[in-house]
Structure 1
Amino acid sequence: MKEKELLRLIQISKLYYEENKTQAEIARIMDISRPSVSNLLNKARKEGIVKIDILSYQHSNMGLSQGLCRRFNLKSCHVVAVAEDLHQAAAGVLVEFLDKTKVLGLGWGNNINKMIESMPQPDSDATAHGIICPLIGTATVPHRGYHPNELATELSRKTGFQAEYLISPAFPTTEQDQELFKNTNNYQEILERWRKADTAIITLGSFPLVPDHGTALRFGKKLTHEKAVGSLLSYFFNLQGEQIQGDDDYAIQIPLSLLNRIKHVIGIVPRESNISAVISCLRTGYIRHLVITEQTAKELITFNVEFE
């Protein structure tokens, strides 16, 4: 095939398949007849210039979503085709739940921060009647994603919900310090909010973590020895979704028994997630709704069961 003919086939194919021009429009642009356009498009397919792949249902986003819901007993799964749209999609899922939410539990981390940044600006005429409260205390790292009270303030501005704060470090270093914070009126008030929470949004994390969450002081080498792979709100789990408990872990976070009672727990799967970590978190049973990229969903649905 001559170069001139090849370039012509590419141009017509781009107009039809990428720019959604009709064959009649292409005929006018190229100054040829409509049947000629049809013949050239057929030739482009035969020459391999245009390849049309028809996805099987299970590999479509709807098929992936339903497959993950069945496998992990999810109520819903939102598969995002473009990874860059993950946080905006998570924001959209959260917005869908706000009208039926009285108490919203807020996780932490970079992905929660980006999700809040992607939230739409509030409607000046809209009224919201709900409360936001952190699900974990504040870390000592400078990143705002690990300062849940700041996240609650920003999400309050975006939603109109009232922000309430947990005035406590995430990781007290002694049992006495933990008890000191747990005995405050503030903690008892937040504990009551956790009991009444009907929606929560958290990130599915992995082990090891960045930042580390003080795991050496809290767990020693136990996380490594017991093969931790997944993390939710700085709780750690093995591949089977079983919690690994530390002898010196005095973290201030929502008890898992209360997290399990929340009707709608939305989980964000970071685009760079380790598949074993995602499986670990989903097997815990705490996640009810999932927001995940198409690429990660495909890896997850085809994960070798024998390897598990």
Structure 2
Amino acid sequence: MDTKDRDLLVEISVMYYLEGKTQTEISKEMFMSRPKVSRLLKKARDLNIVDIKINYDSDDINRVAKQIQHRFGVSNVIVVKTLSSEEETIRQIGKAAANELKYYIKDGVKIGMSWGRTVKAMVDAFKPKNMKDIKIVELFGAVEYGDESQEYLSIGYEFSQKVNGTYYSLPSPLYINDVQTRKILMENPIIKNTITMIDDCDFIVTSIGVVNSSLPQRIWDAHVDPKSRKELLDLGAQGYLCAHFFDQNGQFINHPINDNIIGIKTDSIRNNQIMLIAGGPTKWAGIHAILKGGYVNTLVSDDETLKKVLAEDKKIRGEFL
């Protein structure tokens, strides 16, 4: 974007957000259509020229956060308002997570980071911070075909650039079934070093995926073969955390795929501090399961998703009490 285009976005944003002019008033003053003004305002938000911050401190939001903390023992719960668009909800979750993450980062910290839409939203919203000796560690192999995947697979690297850190990648496929091939890959110096660092991470930033969804799920759709999908579903798979599949109680499933990961192991997930960033209409059951598993220290989500989690939890417990 050249300087002239950016100046226009800034000027229109100031008129709308600071001077309180309507889009119709701006269109007349700037000699352009009202729909064009609307598109430019959206573009200004997308480019973070306009950074809208909403104070979510309300009785309803606070009540949801406290209930999640009390019921599942989560130390820190950040809740944003669910918006009409899932994309905008994910963006708000990402902004809230970025704001929370800045309190966790200090010189010398090692952060394990996965990839996905919500983690990308957090990285996009994170304001650059000049730190010292920050290490960002990729949690599992991320070699994938298709140009459209690259924006998600470079998330950790992008974040490392924002904090003046060093990025440690895992240049490997996600799952390797063949024992000998996996053994050879694990001896690769780059892969071996990164896997060693995973166990030494101070905390993990991740989202979750769900299985058998009507919406695209990158790991489930692209990395799990049909035979394994059926087996996992038969075993009660609910979703996956750091590419490890878990059931409705948040317990990792006894299936070879969880042992075939090039990357983090289940013990490292159990023993680490986890910031879970997840929300939206398809994720509530997976979030409920992983909260029951007791892995999450910090949760960033949206209110309608967490209300579904609480309602389902109450229903299940009522059946057995």
Query: In the TM superposition, what is the alpha-carbon distance from 1:191 to its structure 2 partner?
Result: 2.2
**1:65-214 equivalence runs, <5 A:** 65-82=65-82, 83=89, 84-99=91-106, 102-120=109-127, 122-123=128-129, 126-142=130-146, 143-144=149-150, 146-147=152-153, 150-208=154-212, 210-211=217-218, 212-214=221-223
Q: Distance in 1 between matches of 2:243 and 2:79?
A: 25
Deviations 1:260-283 (A, max 9, x none): 222x31001132333221111222
SS at 1:172's partner residue?
Answer: coil
Q: Distance in 2 between matches of 1:217 and 1:251?
A: 17
Q: Distance in 1 between matches of 2:232 and 2:121?
A: 28
Unaligned regions of 5+ residues in structure 2, if any?
A: 1-19, 21-57, 83-88
SS at 1:299's partner residue?
Answer: helix
CA contact (8 A) 2:107 2:131 kept: no
Q: How many residues are matched?
A: 246
Query: In the TM superposition, what is the alpha-carbon distance from 1:216 to its structure 2 partner?
Result: 2.4
CA contact (8 A) 2:143 2:172 kept: no
Q: Distance in 1 between matches of 2:243 and 2:280?
A: 19
**1:237-248 equivalence runs, <5 A:** 237-247=246-256
SS at 1:181's partner residue?
Answer: helix
Identity percentage over the alignment? 19
Query: In the TM superposition, what is the alpha-carbon distance from 1:139 to its structure 2 partner?
Result: 4.0
Unaligned regions of 5+ residues in structure 1, if any?
A: 1-18, 20-56
Which structure is higher in helix share?
2
Instruction: State the TM-score, normalized to the length of structure 2.
Output: 0.70
SS at 2:137's partner residue?
Answer: strand
Q: Distance in 2 between matches of 1:127 and 1:224?
A: 44
Query: In the TM superposition, what is the alpha-carbon distance from 1:302 to its structure 2 partner?
Result: 2.0
**1:54-73 equivalence runs, <5 A:** 60-73=60-73
Q: Distance in 2 between matches of 1:234 and 1:105?
A: 13
Q: Which amino acid aligns with 2:102?
A: V
Instruction: State the TM-score, normalized to the length of structure 1.
Output: 0.73
- Tell me the residue number matched to 1:32: none
Distance 1:71 1:223, change over 3 A: same
- Tell me the residue number matched to 2:282: 273
Q: Which amino acid aligns with 2:240?
A: S
CA contact (8 A) 1:202 1:267 kept: yes
Deviations 1:271-299 (A, max 9, x none): 23332211112222222110010111222
Q: Distance in 2 between matches of 1:185 and 1:108?
A: 23
Please tell me the root mean square deviation across aligned C-alpha atoms, in Å: 2.3
Larger of the two Rg values belongs to structure = 1
Deviations 1:45-94 (A, max 9, x none): xxxxxxxxxxxx9x621121111012111110000125241111111111
The answer as to 2:314 corresponding to 1:305 is yes
Q: Which amino acid aligns with 1:269?
A: A
Structure 1 runs, 4 residues or longer, greater than 3 Å off? 304-308
SS at 1:201's partner residue?
Answer: strand
